[in-house]
Amino acid sequence: MLDANFWHDKIKSKKIIKEKKLYEDLVNSFEYSIKKLKDLDDLKELAVEEENLSIQKEILNNVVDLRNLVKKNEIKCFLSEEADSFDCYIEIHAGAGGTESQDWADMLRRMYLKWSDNKNFKSNLISEHKGDEAGIKSSTIKLEGDYVFGWLKKESGIHRLVRISPFDSGSRRHTSFASIWVYPVVDENISIEINDKDLRIDTYRSSGAGGQHVNTTDSAVRITHLPSKIVVQCQNERSQHKNKETCMNMLKARLYDFELKKKEEKNLSDVSSKSEIGWGHQIRSYVLQPYRLVKDNRTNYENTSPEKVLDGEIDEFLEQSLYQIK
């Protein structure tokens, strides 16, 4: 029986309901799998007895589907860390290389947004700095959905693209880099102490969408946390006050994520640092020329259909990275 004050704390009750849904889905899926397996076993005996090859083939296809379902439930069991159930921010930064890298950063943003749409997650553009000719120099998006941070937390790092450049009149092969930084959205139950004296707050004119009002007032906000040198910015709202509030939430999330990383056994400081984006720090390579291959450098998982991967089909990469978690 629920506590009489359960619904008074909306944030806590929402979190508990989300966890309850996950466990209910797992239990229901488990019970469905057991029943389905028994039905298939009974059908198999009948198909073998009647030597019906068509039904035997159908049974085999159903077994494959059932195996995939069990695999997905197994993956969900890995999403049990403290912040896995949280929503998340994704920061995307183009590396050196001008238009090439800026276009690559935009391709990565599209990949994650397509993945989010496929999962029926909600996405919200927080900030964007467009490229000089094409693409983006940087962008921050917020994704909301069941265990979205848990799914994407291992995507932080350098992503490398090799292709024939559409911007090179000589049709030469180019290598481009972009960094991805994923961190959780923290709720009000998590206390993050921030001193005003540790902050530098700048306002500037927005360069993104939002109408004429956004572009003619200093509504965009940039906050620098001086001790950690963390910088967050927001320009998606017309109100400077709302943009500042979003920035503070992002800063709390970044500081919380920093503390999470300190607790991990594996040192991820090379990912979280703002080091030069280039060779030696890649987590994944996307090769379009001279061959077609996407390879994760940590799990060695490969996919020979980069166009599908860039269209948001990244579940296999995410699952393999979760299997690597100790």
* Alpha helices (H) along 132-285: 148-152, 212-216, 240-263, 269-272
Phi, psi for residue 205 in degrees, rounded to 5:
-80, 130
Question: Model confidence over 189-237: pLDDT tens digits?
Answer: 677 889 999 999 999 887 654 444 445 567 899 999 999 999 999 988 8
- Overall average pLDDT of the 160-176 stretch: 91
Average pLDDT over residues 305-317: 97
Tell whether the model's pLDDT for residue 271 goes beyond 50: no
Are the CB atoms for 53 and 79 separated by under 8 Å? Answer: no
Give start and end residues of each alpha helix (H) in 119-211: 148-152
Helix (H) or strand (E) holding 319: helix 315-323
Q: Residue 163 is encoded by which pair of tokens? A: 């292709």
pLDDT bucket at 135, cuts 50 / 70 / 90: very high
Please tell me what DSSP assigns to residue 310: T
- Asked whether the beta carbons of 55 and 43 are under 8 A apart, the reply is yes
Q: How far apart are the first and last CA of the chain?
A: 36
pTM for this one?
0.74
* Residues 289-316, mean pLDDT to the nearest whole number: 96
* Cα(106)–Cα(93) distance, integer angstroms: 9
Q: Is 190 left (phi over 0), alpha (psi -120 to 50) or beta?
A: beta
